[in-house]
Every structure is written in structure tokens, then in C-alpha cells.
């Protein structure tokens, strides 16, 4: 890869990477971002020009909500033309949700937006923060023929760059906290930084960036479990203002065939609630109609989530619902890969 200088915006939203232990309670809390840069003098050795932006009040990612998604997107949109790449420091707990929704919010993205964080705070002797931050910046800064190599929303953690909307946080203890089972990694940090070019998103450079900042949060995840009760299910589906449900089904998209279950679901779909079938397995795909236990879902018009993650399905719904598409159109659009978030078959 040719070394060229890039101008990179580092946006700090919060998370362990910039946290310190409270002397009083021992609990981790966010601290001043300027100190974060002091803790990593190595950043000055990179060939890139780095400028920083920070949330007024850095937050634990468990507190992130749709206003924060819009805040991050608006910040990047505002400075989009000034920089070659964006690295967003974010707590790992909900990083996959943010990476997923941002991928939908940025249509025709032609620069990298890489989210990263760490499992141990930057001040910890054994911290993973330095490698994650430095390599994220290096990958974000990669250019070929004067153009950024990565032109999508990525998530970098523990030696791997993933497509953000394919990731899930799988481990609270290991440095390798994320996985992307249904899609190969985009780059790997070993002795050399290896980019997996065939996995990168192809883009049409002629199309202008559109940033979609309207999100609809009237959605719900319902995870199937064998002892699910009629009253509970009906109660959840009767949630006021509910517009869409991500139904985490068993195996390749299977659910109960009890009449109370199917009737409640069908009634909701008739009312205009969108229901997406996503498998609760970590890898593989929904195949509606493969078993009798998914045939009824297919017939009543449940959307096939294929191999999308729950995080990505939520992001896609929040992005699509404000478009006010007819149910059938929304189903077709949802079942189409928009940002490489699902396989096409
Ligand atoms: N609770 C933290 C957060 O998600 C954990 C982390 O940063 O890894 O903000």
C-alpha cells in the first residue's frame, strides 16, 4: 500500500477507551479526551494529520440512543469535505448497533468511517486501546491513487477490520470481542496490514453523499424462546406506536406453529406492523419455508431477514420506516442488500 498522508477526524463519543477508575468507587467513568491523546504519544509518529472532536459529555455506549446516532452523523456530515477519513471512538457494548445504523444513514459513502474502542482503559498497562486506535487510524488513512481504500462503515477491534453492519459483540472478557460470522473481515493487522480487497464495498463515485438523519425508534426485538406465553407475546405486539418487530427465531427462521402465536403475528402485520425474521443463531441464514415451522410466517408476509444481524435489522428499520414506503415495497427493499449488510441470495 502506498503511504500517503491523510487528514483524519478522530471523534470521541466515550467508552472504556477513554475511561478512568473513580478513586472513590472504583467504577469506570469517562474522562477528558485531551488526556487520551497525551496517553498515546505514538499518534504523533503517524504520517497522518489528526484532528479531534469530542462529545461534550462522553458517554458509556449503553446510554447511546437515536439522538446520539444523529449527532455522530451530523458531525461527520458537517466536516465530510474537510477530511479523508473518520475514526469514531465508541464504547464496545453497543458499537455494532451504532456501526450498523450509521451504515444506513450514510448513502454513497466514499470515505472510511471506522469505529473502534477497547476492552481495557487507555491508562491500563495491558490495554488493547493503543493497537485498536493506531491501526484504525492507519487503515482509515490508506489511499490508492489519492482515494481512500476503505469506503464504508467499518469496525476495528483486536487485529481485524470488519464491515460494521455485519458485526456482533460476542465476548465481554476477551480482547477479541467482536465477530462477523457471515462476512469475511475487510483487513487484518499482522506483521503487515493486509487489506482483503475482494471483501471491500464497491461504490459508485459519481453519486453524491446523502446523510439520512431521520430515524424511527418505534421498533422492538422479540426473541423467541420455547416457554413464550400467549399473554406476553400479545402484550408486546400491542405496544403503543409499535411500527416494526425484529423477531429472533430459532435456527433457519423457525417459530412456534401454535395458533395463538400465528394469529397474533398475522393481526399485527394486517395492522401495518412490519415483522422481520432474523435468526437468533450467530451464523447462517433464515430460509423461510424450509421447515413447516416457518412456512406460515412466509405466507403471512413476514420479511425475510436472511443472514442479517439483529443489530443491523434494527438499524435498517429505523432508517427505512421514516421513508413511509408501502408495506410490500418496504419488504422488497428490506430483503435487498443496501450496504452489504446481507447476502443477496
Ligand atoms: N461499557 C463500555 C461502553 O460500551 C464498555 C466498552 O467501552 O467497552 O461504553
- Residue 60 CB less than 6 A away from ligand 1: yes
Segment 24-43 mean pLDDT: 74
Q: What integer pLDDT is reported at residue 25 of this predicted model?
A: 83
Percentage of the chain surpassing pLDDT 90? 77
pLDDT at 266 over 90: yes
> In terms of Cα–Cα distance, which of 302, 254, 262 is closest to 280?
254
CB of residue 158 inside a 6 A radius of ligand 1: no
15 Cβ inside 6 Å of ligand 1? yes
pLDDT greater than 90 at residue 123: no
Residue 1: pLDDT above 60? no
Residue 12 banded pLDDT, cuts 50, 70, 90: very high
pLDDT tens for 83-107 read 999 999 999 999 999 999 999 999 9
Residue 340 confidence (pLDDT) above 90: yes
Pocket test for ligand 1, best of 28, 92, 127, 174 (most atoms within 8 A of CB): 92
**Among 93, 94, 95, which is best to mutate for testing ligand 1, by the most ligand atoms less than 8 A from CB?**
93
How many whole angstroms from 220 Cα to the centroid of ligand 1?
23
Span 276-303, pLDDT tens digits = 999 999 999 999 888 888 899 999 999 9
pLDDT at 175: 87
Taking only the tens place, the pLDDT of each residue in 130-158 is 999 999 999 999 999 889 999 999 999 99
Q: Please name each of the domains of the chain with its CATH number.
A: 7-211 (3.40.50.1170), 219-334 (3.40.50.40)
Q: Minimal CA–CA distance to 334: which of 246, 239, 222, 272?
A: 246
Q: What residues does 29 pair with on adjacent strands?
A: 20
Residue 92 CA, closest ligand 1 atom number: 8
Asked whether 248 lines ligand 1 (CB < 6 A), one says no
Is 121 a pocket residue for ligand 1 (Cβ < 6 Å)?
no
User: Looking at the DSSP assignment, which residues form a beta bridge with residue 286?
Assistant: none
Q: 55 in ligand 1 pocket by Cβ < 6 Å?
A: no
Segment 173-224, tens digit of pLDDT: 898 999 999 999 999 998 999 999 999 999 888 899 999 999 999 999 999 9
What integer best gives the mean pLDDT of the chain? Answer: 93
Distance CA 215, CA 105 (A): 9
Q: Where are the beta strands (DSSP E) in the chain?
A: 7-12, 19-21, 28-30, 49-54, 85-89, 106-107, 113-116, 143-144, 147-148, 153-157, 160-163, 168-169, 178-179, 187-189, 193-195, 210-211, 219-223, 244-249, 274-279, 303-304
pLDDT (tens digit per residue) in 36-73: 667 778 888 888 999 989 888 888 999 999 999 999 99
Question: Ligand 1: which atom is nearest the Cα of residue 93?
Answer: 4
315 lines ligand 1 (CB under 6 A): no
pLDDT at 35 over 70: no
More confident position, 298 or 23: 298
Q: How far is the CA of 85 from the centre of ligand 1 (A)?
A: 23
pLDDT band at 3 (very low <50, low <70, confident <90, very high): low
The answer to whether 195 and 186 are in contact (CB under 8 A) is: yes
Task: State in Å: Cα 29 to ligand 1 middle.
Answer: 10
Ligand 1 mean position, distance from CA 195 (Å): 27
Q: What is the pLDDT of residue 320?
A: 98
Give this prediction's pTM.
0.95
Instruction: Give just the sign of the alpha carbon dihedral 256, 258, 260, 262.
Output: positive
Q: Could you tell me which of 34, 27, 31 has the C-alpha nearest to residue 10?
A: 34
> What pLDDT, in 10s, does the model give residues 321-335?
999 999 999 999 999
Q: H-helix or E-strand containing 263?
A: helix 259-270
Beta strands in 72-132 (DSSP E): 85-89, 106-107, 113-116
CA–centroid distance, 18 to ligand 1, in Å, is: 10
Which residues participate in catalysis according to the annotation?
16
- Check whether 2 has a pLDDT greater than 60: no
Average pLDDT of span 108-113: 97
Q: How far apart are CA 134 and CA 201, in angstroms?
A: 23
* pLDDT attached to residue 92: 95
Contact 93 CB / ligand 1 (< 6 Å): yes
pLDDT at 108 over 60: yes
The ligand 1 atom nearest the CA atom of 94: 4
Ligand 1, atom 3: nearest CA belongs to which residue? 91
Amino acid at each position: 500500500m502506498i503511504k500517503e498522508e491523510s487528514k483524519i477526524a478522530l471523534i470521541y463519543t466515550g467508552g472504556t477507551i477513554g475511561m478512568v477508575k473513580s478513586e472513590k468507587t472504583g467504577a469506570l467513568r469517562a474522562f477528558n479526551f485531551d488526556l487520551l491523546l497525551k496517553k498515546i504519544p505514538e499518534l504523533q509518529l503517524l504520517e497522518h494529520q489528526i484532528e479531534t472532536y469530542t462529545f461534550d459529555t462522553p458517554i458509556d455506549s449503553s446510554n447511546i440512543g437515536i439522538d446520539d446516532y444523529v449527532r455522530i452523523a451530523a458531525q461527520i456530515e458537517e466536516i465530510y469535505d474537510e477530511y479523508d477519513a473518520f475514526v469514531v471512538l465508541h464504547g464496545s457494548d453497543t458499537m455494532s448497533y451504532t456501526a450498523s445504523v450509521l451504515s444506513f444513514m450514510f448513502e454513497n459513502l466514499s470515505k472510511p468511517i471506522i469505529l473502534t474502542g477497547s476492552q481495557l482503559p487507555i491508562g491500563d498497562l495491558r490495554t488493547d486501546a493503543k493497537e485498536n486506535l493506531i491501526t484504525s487510524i492507519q487503515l482509515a488513512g490508506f489511499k490508492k491513487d489519492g482515494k481512500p481504500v476503505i469506503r464504508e462503515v467499518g469496525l476495528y477491534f483486536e487485529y481485524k477490520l470488519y464491515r460494521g453492519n455485519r458485526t456482533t459483540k460476542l465476548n465481554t472478557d476477551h480482547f477479541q470481542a467482536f465477530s462477523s460470522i457471515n462476512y469475511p473481515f475487510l483487513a487484518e493487522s499482522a506483521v503487515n496490514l493486509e487489506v482483503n480487497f475482494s471483501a471491500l464495498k464497491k461504490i459508485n463515485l459519481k453519486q453524491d453523499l446523502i446523510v439520512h438523519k431521520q430515524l424511527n425508534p418505534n421498533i422492538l426485538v422479540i426473541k423467541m424462546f420455547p416457554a413464550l406465553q400467549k399473554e406476553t407475546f400479545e402484550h408486546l405486539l400491542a405496544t403503543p406506536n409499535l411500527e416494526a418487530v425484529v423477531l429472533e427465531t430459532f435456527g433457519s427462521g423457525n417459530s412456534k406453529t401454535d395458533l395463538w402465536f400465528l394469529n397474533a403475528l398475522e393481526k399485527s402485520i394486517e395492522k401495518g406492523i412490519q415483522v422481520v425474521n432474523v435468526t437468533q443463531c450467530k451464523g447462517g441464514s433464515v430460509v423461510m419455508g424450509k421447515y413447516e415451522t416457518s412456512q406460515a410466517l412466509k405466507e403471512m408476509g413476514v420479511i425475510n431477514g436472511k443472514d442479517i444481524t439483529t443489530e443491523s435489522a434494527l438499524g435498517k428499520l429505523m432508517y427505512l420506516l421514516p421513508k413511509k414506503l408501502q408495506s410490500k415495497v418496504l419488504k422488497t427493499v428490506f430483503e435487498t442488500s443496501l450496504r452489504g449488510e446481507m447476502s443477496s441470495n
